[in-house]
Amino acid sequence: MKIGIIGGTGGMGEGFALRWCVNHDILLGSRDRQKAQLVAENHINNINNNSFSKKITGSIKGDDNLSVAKESDILILSIPYENIESTCKDIGNIIKDSCIVVSPIVPMSRNQDGFYYIPFVDGKKSAGVLVAENLPNCNKVISAFHTISEVKLKNIKDSLNADTFICTDNKESLQILNNLIAEIEGLRSVYLGPLSLSYQAEVMTPMILNASKQNKLKHPGIKLV
C-alpha cells in the first residue's frame, strides 16, 4: 500500500513514515520536491543505522505534493487548517477514486488563557467537515490522529499506549485505517461516529496542550479505560 503524507516533512510525517515503512511504501510530500527527497533520505539513513532496519519491507521517498497525491492509496493531510481549501482544490481532481483521505488537522490558536479550538470561538467548521466539503468527489474522508504525541510517534522503540479517535461516514475505509493503526504499537482506534462529529476529536488537542502546560506533563495523550 502507498501511504502519502502532504506536509510530510514535519514531525508527524516523520513519525508515520518510520512506523509504517515496515510494511508499506511511504511518500513524503512537500511544495519543495528537493526538500522532501532530502528528508526521506535522512529517514532512510537513520533507519539503516538502527537494528530496526531488519524489519523494513517498505520504502520512504520524497516528492512534490501533487505527485504524492496522484500515487497514494491513503493520503494524510498534515497541513494547517487555513490551507485546507487551497490544498483540496489542488488535489481534488487528481487523487484516485479509491483514495482514502485522512485529516489529522486541528484548527486551534492561543490567547492569554491558553490554547483554544477555533471553530467554537469563531463559528467555523471542523477540519474534518471542511476537508470533505472541499473534496466533493471523495467519499472516503476520515478524521483521525489528533491527540497523538509527535515526540512519542517518532520514537519507534516505544509503545504509544494511547487511543486515537476516528470519525468517518465510510465504514469500509474505517476498517482499512484500523488495520494501519493496529500496526503502530500501543495505538488503539476508537470510533466516535460520522464525520459531523469530527469536532469532538479535534477539540481534545488544545485541551491536552493546556493540561500539559499547567501540570507539567510530558508529551501526554489520551486513553479510555
Give per-residue pLDDT as tens, 172-190: 999 999 999 999 999 999 9
Lowest mean pLDDT among 21-35, 41-55, 160-174: 41-55
Q: Where does the pLDDT of residue 109 fall: very low under 50, low under 70, confident under 90, or very high at 90 and above?
A: very high
pLDDT of residue 43: 85
Geometric angle at alpha carbon 130, from 116 and 201, rounded to 5°? 45
Q: How far apart are CA 102 and CA 115, in angstroms?
A: 23
Average of per-residue pLDDT values in the chain: 94
Q: What is the largest CA-CA distance in the chain?
A: 49
What is the pLDDT averaged over residues 31-44?
91
pLDDT of residue 195: 97
What is the pLDDT averaged over residues 165-177?
96
CB-count burial class (<10 Å; 0-12, 13-18, 19+) for 213: exposed
Tell me the Ramachandran region of residue 161: left when phi exceeds 0, alpha when psi lies from -120 to 50, beta otherwise. Answer: left
pTM: 0.94
- pLDDT of residue 147 exceeding 70: yes
Model pLDDT for residues 46-91, shown as the tens digit of each residue: 787 776 667 788 999 999 999 999 999 999 999 999 999 999 999 9
2-215 maps to which CATH number?
A: 3.40.50.720
| Residue found under cell 493520503 | 75
Geometric angle at alpha carbon 69, from 44 and 194, rounded to 5°? 110
pLDDT of residue 51: 67
pLDDT of residue 33: 93
Q: Which contacts of 203-212 are long-range, i.e. CB under 8 A and separated by 24 or more positions?
A: 203/117, 203/120, 204/146, 204/147, 204/165, 205/106, 205/108, 205/115, 205/117, 205/146, 205/147, 206/106, 206/108, 206/114, 206/115, 206/116, 206/117, 207/115, 208/147, 209/108, 209/114, 209/115, 210/114, 210/115
| Residue found under cell 473534496 | 135
